[in-house]
Chains A and B, each alone.
Chain A
Amino acid sequence: MPPDTALLHLPEDPLKDLVNDNFLQYASYVIRDRAIPQLEDGLKPVQRRILHALHEKDDGRFNKVANIVGHAMQYHPHGDASIEEALVNLVNKTYLIEGQGNFGNLFTGDPPAASRYVECRLSDLARQEIFNPKLTEYASSYDGRNREPVIFPAKLPLLLMLGSEGIAVGLSTRVMPHNFIELLKAQIAILQDKRFKLLPDFPQGGLMDASEYNRGNGKIKLRARIEKRENSRLVIREIPFSTTTESVIASIEEAARKRRIRIRSINDFTAAQVEILITLSPGEDAEKAIIALYHFTQCEVTLHSNIVVIKGERPVQMDVDEIIRFNTDRLISLLKKELEIRQSELQDELHRKSLIQLFIEHRIYKRIEECETYEDVQQAVLNGLLPFRNQLTRDITLGDVEMLLSLQIKRISRFDLKKNEEEKLKIRLALKEVEKHLTRLTDYAIDYLHRLIQTYGKQFKRKTQLTTAEEIDVRELTANELAIAYDQERGFLGHEVKADAAFRCSPLDRLLLVWDTGRYQMVPPPDKLFVDKNLIYFGIFDRDKVFTLVYNSPTTTFLKRFAFGGAIMNRDYNCAQEDAKVKYLSDRAVSEIRLRYRHVKGSRIDEQTFRVADFPVRGPKTRGNQITRRTVTSVTAK
């Protein structure tokens, strides 16, 4: 390729030619075969080769990592250390490879155990959604001894799921990981022509301000989750992506040395969860200390995102929306190809079964007895079948004849016509199903995505919390500040009440108090409030939370489901009728309410069960449904 002299303003000379050629060769190689992920399957070559190696070795059981690394080296002629690092990285992302043993600690940054001590295997997700040899293009490995996949027919939006980071020559890429389920939902939105928005999500959790994310070509601000504890102590419960507890602590110590923040001690109790305990110096204000931590330490980091991928053969800059749209188009085309393959397999099978049936039913095999040469035999079979051409879906080939001639005699003698017909019917039904899917591909893809969400929704929940407004941040920060306790004996409630704490809340939260007469109030978290002994419920006020209530009026028992909705602070309300007595109140999702009645002479039924779902959710002022006039002795819920 001719060097671009206009750019360089340098005269031609042999040295320049030499440097230029070598430079471009090397740069191209690093960009295309090392550092930059491929758009289609989101993988760098080393990752693809590891997955290929795992797939080849896959028998469902764990393999030693060292063994997989060695196997991957057949395709990736580079250092075992770098392959191992890439593998550990994939394991820690949890989606594609399942690890057994010590794979290091994402939080503390502890290294994994040596590769001879740890094992790994493909996850179910990878096994089912990434590989399909029938749809994979293979190329020769570097030494021509093996075949390796060029790109996996991955149906998942792997690039955005896994994220990626790479420094090539002249350009680099940084793709943030996103939440798997949110990606799938975005794909559904694309297929349904709806709007969507994708923001990063990190295994470390933390708080994130993504207002400048700019669809993957901007920056995000990540913060640690810091909780206040009594005695001027702070606890860091989540750290930002790209930091470790070790680096966070080092940065806090550094800030302390520079007197940016005054602390007495730091202790790291991190194991399965992050827990860094910071004890502030006496007199240091916790609120100010948190601000200082965000300002001067790694408790807040800004990360730049810059998405460069290989599309076709060349690096291009793309944004998150373009990528997920590309993934969705590709998903559709892969699903289509899969269906077409299935269709042709079914058609072949049907053809085969029909041929066998004709061959045996009409005793065509008898015709070959007289034949002298093998060609005659073939011709005889072909001639015998020809009259039945209209019963077949396609022409009879020589291959078909071969197949028939290689049938075992015992299969002919034991041929079960009925069973064969049944099997053919099954294949026809399957074919119809496939054809239906092919005509409604978008719906089929949406179903596919829904299935994935259903299977993996619980497993891959969002971990990083979005905080666009500073205010929400404060609420999060203080979410555990107050420990609310209720001393029933004396009738006091609040965070200064000496009793076992029922729950923790923020000073910005509002509490809901309900008494056994149905009276309720919304109040700010009190320090010590006299609420008397007949309080039956207290919790953080949530206007949309659905409650189930059973109460007695003097003559009748009512059941109702309702949400409290809006309320004015410190004002008395009532969610039952006058002179009522609450028998049962819960904010749990119950399915059944069982009532026991006082036995009266002659009554046959002393117990009754009500399905909660039969009662509509209403407002707090409704009377509810009258369910019995008998005297209720007990209420239980399930």
Chain B
Amino acid sequence: MKLTRINVDDVHTIQPLLQFYMGKNTPQRREYIMGNLVVEA
């Protein structure tokens, strides 16, 4: 069996990332959406 080394250093960021995008509606998130709204040209 050939094993490939996988780097999982970044995994610890997934939790806060999902917390922000998929979690509760927070005022920060609201601000973030308002500030970064995608508006088609």
Contact = CB atoms under 8 A, between A and B. Distances in A.
A574 interface: no
* Chain A CB within 10 Å, residue with most, of B16, B18, B21: B21
A171 B38 contact: no
Interface string B29-40: 111111111110
A13 B13 CA distance: 9
B21 A28 contact: no
B25 interface: yes
Given A27-B33, A170-B25, A170-B30, A313 B13 contact: no
Contacts of A170: 25, 29-30, 32-34
A399 interface: no
Q: Is the interface of B mostly helix, strand, loop or mixed?
A: helix
A2 to B, nearest CB: 8
Given A31-B33, A170-B25, A171-B34, A19 B39 contact: no
B32 A4 contact: yes
A1 B14 CA distance: 21
Contacts of A373: none
B32 A7 contact: yes
B17 A314 contact: no
A271 interface: no
A13 B39 contact: no
Contact of A8 (B20, B35, B37): B20
B36 A4 contact: yes
A315 B21 CA distance: 19
Interface residues of A, number: 27
Nearest to A172: B25
A171 B30 contact: yes
Contacts of A7: 28, 31-32
B34 A315 contact: yes
Contacts of B10: 11, 13, 15
A615 interface: no
B37 A24 contact: yes
A9 B25 CA distance: 18
Contact of A28 (B18, B29, B31, B39): B39
Nearest to B31: A7
B21 A4 contact: no
Contact of B37 (A10, A13, A20, A31): A31
A530 interface: no
Contact of B13 (A16, A314, A315): A16
Interface string A172-204: 000000000000000000000000000000000
A314 B39 contact: yes
Given A28-B39, A315-B37, A20 B21 contact: yes
A25 B35 contact: no
A534 to B, nearest CB: 73
Nearest to B38: A28
Interface in A21-59: 23-25, 27-29, 31-32
B10 to A, nearest CB: 5
Contact of B39 (A8, A23, A313): A313
Contacts of B37: 24, 27-28, 31-32, 313-315
Interface string A338-361: 000000000000000000000000
Nearest to B30: A170
B20 to A, nearest CB: 6
Contacts of A114: none
Interface of B: 10, 13-14, 16-18, 20-21, 25, 28-39
Interface of A: 1, 3-4, 7-11, 13, 15-16, 19-20, 23-25, 27-29, 31-32, 169-171, 313-315
18 contacts: A3-B36, A4-B32, A7-B31, A8-B20, A10-B20, A13-B10, A13-B13, A15-B10, A16-B13, A16-B17, A20-B21, A28-B33, A28-B37, A171-B30, A171-B34, A313-B39, A314-B34, A315-B37
Closest 5 CB pairs of A and B: A28-B38, A170-B33, A313-B39, A170-B30, A28-B37
Given A13-B13, A313-B39, 14 more contacts: A8-B17, A11-B13, A15-B10, A19-B18, A20-B21, A23-B21, A24-B38, A25-B38, A28-B37, A28-B39, A170-B32, A171-B30, A171-B34, A313-B37
